[in-house]
Amino acid sequence: MPYSDQQLGEMVRGDSVHRALYTDPAIFELEMQRIYGRAWVYVGHESQVPRTGDYHTTRLGDQDVLMVRASDGRVHVLYNRCPHKGAKVVADGDGCVGKFFRCPYHAWTFKLDGSHLGVPLKQGLEGTSYDPTDPTFSMRRLPRVESYRGFVFASQARDGQGLAEFLGGVRSSIDNLCDRSPVGEVEVAGGIFRVMQRSNWKVFYENLHDTMHARVTHESSFAAARDEAKEIGEMPFELHIMDGNGEPYEFWEKLELRAYDNGHGYMEGIFNPGAAERDPVSRAHFESLTAAYGAERAREILGMNRHNTVIYGSGSPHTVFQQFRVIRPIAVDRTLIEIQTFRCKGAPEGVFKRAMLYANVINSPSSNVMPDDIELYNRCQEGNATRGGEWVSMHRYHGTDRRDADGMVSVNGTSELPMRNQFRAWKNYMEAGPVAPAHGQGEGACC
Ligand SMILES: [Fe+2]
């Protein structure tokens, strides 16, 4: 063991963290066990597996898992491993296996809940300890799976908080995302962008609520948007969202930062009831929600002016433009970001088009904005690998964080409260020691 629990705890101070948290592969390995071995982690959305046999593969920490729809409509989350030779049963991606899984190596078969179905030439196993009812011969389900409004999460730990309690105050972000549909449901649509970043996974979470970087890091993109707007004499939506990063410091100082246990949080602007009537797309959206919920509630839903939300260990849902940036740690210096965009079922098509436009302009591999961030994440990765200093600072407004009935709140929108809160969770996970391995077949189903 390269680090004792105490040494791990000492690497997180109230106002700074040790650079090894970003650069040491031994710490990354411990994070996979102690954070990703415990936390609820977003696997995917139910709409990605609409029919029996549909599957979606992903990574839960360093584990290859898949989500699959069974014939009874339930969604199972399984480790992607055949119990015979250990081969991944399905290739990475999305697809449909039909009524059962069949390993492409020796044709062992499994029901859609992972349980053992059969092997060819079964007589060759007679008289051995092969037992089709023993989970050793099944695809293993994860210990726990739960869905919150269609968002499927899994945990590799048998015990712990339920999903709703784990999410705490950021449940309201998922609620608002779904409530923007007149039927209260969203679905993944329009494909998924994937971006591999040459940096540690934690930097991305920190940056989501890092309001001090916007007008510095993104100067080239918001300045280009302003130049273009001047030239064409208007500021269309795609330039407007690039321009936003250029707001003066006073704007960022007024934002409210909320922080919750387990590292979660969100960033919110002043409630904006005018959002409902601002432009033709918003007006049509408002009308469709008014028909479903009444004007007052529709105004409340569209007026919620929430920017990035952090679900620590999973990623970042964005309520206003209906997306989920899923953050998958790959190695100590590699992180895969998957950008899922959602359609609000029953809402006018313009709402989805706007969400796609936002994803393209801000988060796609060809975005003019995201590369600004990626460049800086990589500079942090490489700079922290030098011997030029041992600690990473999170001092801004340290000592002023307030706790109220709803969690913690910043005194200023430029506070580094969110980072301090994320590392408070990190420390809790890491000091808690190893996770006992879950034996036998897991519960692993929801919906
Ligand atoms: Fe940024």
From CA 371, how far away is CA 366, in angstroms rounded?
A: 8
Check residue 279 and give its pLDDT.
87
Query: Tens of pLDDT along 21-61?
Result: 999 999 999 999 999 999 999 999 999 999 999 999 999 99
CA 220 – ligand 1 centroid, Å: 12
CA 123 – ligand 1 centroid, Å: 61
Check residue 447 and give its pLDDT.
81
Check residue 1 and give its pLDDT.
64
CA 368 – ligand 1 centroid, Å: 11
Check residue 278 and give its pLDDT.
76
CA 232 – ligand 1 centroid, Å: 26
Which residues, 6 or more positions from 361, have their beta carbon under 8 angstroms from its beta carbon? 238, 241, 242, 367, 368, 369
Query: Around Cβ 83, how many Cβ atoms within 10 Å?
Result: 20
Check residue 438 and give its pLDDT.
77
Q: Say if residue 55 is exposed, middle or buried (CB neighbours under 10 Å; 0-12, 13-18, 19+).
A: buried
CA 319 – ligand 1 centroid, Å: 18
User: Which residue is listed with tokens 């009874």?
Assistant: 72
CA 419 – ligand 1 centroid, Å: 15
CA 248 – ligand 1 centroid, Å: 15
Comparing CA positions, the residue from 290, 282, 296 lying closest to residue 348 is 282
Query: Tens of pLDDT along 149-198?
Result: 999 999 999 999 999 999 999 999 999 999 999 999 999 999 999 999 99
Query: Tens of pLDDT along 303-349?
Result: 999 989 999 999 999 999 999 999 999 999 999 999 999 999 999 99
What percent of the chain has a predicted confidence (pLDDT) above 70? 100
From CA 93, how far away is CA 72, in angstroms rounded?
A: 23
CA 377 – ligand 1 centroid, Å: 10
Check residue 271 and give its pLDDT.
77
CA 373 – ligand 1 centroid, Å: 5
Query: Tens of pLDDT along 257-289?
Result: 999 999 999 999 887 777 777 789 999 999 999
CA 212 – ligand 1 centroid, Å: 9
CA 376 – ligand 1 centroid, Å: 9
Comparing CA positions, the residue from 280, 277, 110, 289 lying closest to residue 184 is 289
Q: Which DSSP string do the residues of 47-111 spell out, in sequence order?
A: GGS-STTEEEEEEETTEEEEEEE-TTS-EEEEES--TTT---SS-SSEEE-TTSEE-TTT--EE-
CA 246 – ligand 1 centroid, Å: 11
Q: What is the mean pLDDT of the chain?
A: 95
Q: What is the rounded average pLDDT of the residues 112-139?
A: 97
Cβ-contact 419, 217 below 8 angstroms: no
Query: Tens of pLDDT along 195-225?
Result: 999 999 999 999 999 999 999 999 999 999 9
CA 342 – ligand 1 centroid, Å: 22
CA 372 – ligand 1 centroid, Å: 7
CA 215 – ligand 1 centroid, Å: 9
Cβ-contact 346, 187 below 8 angstroms: no
CA 325 – ligand 1 centroid, Å: 14
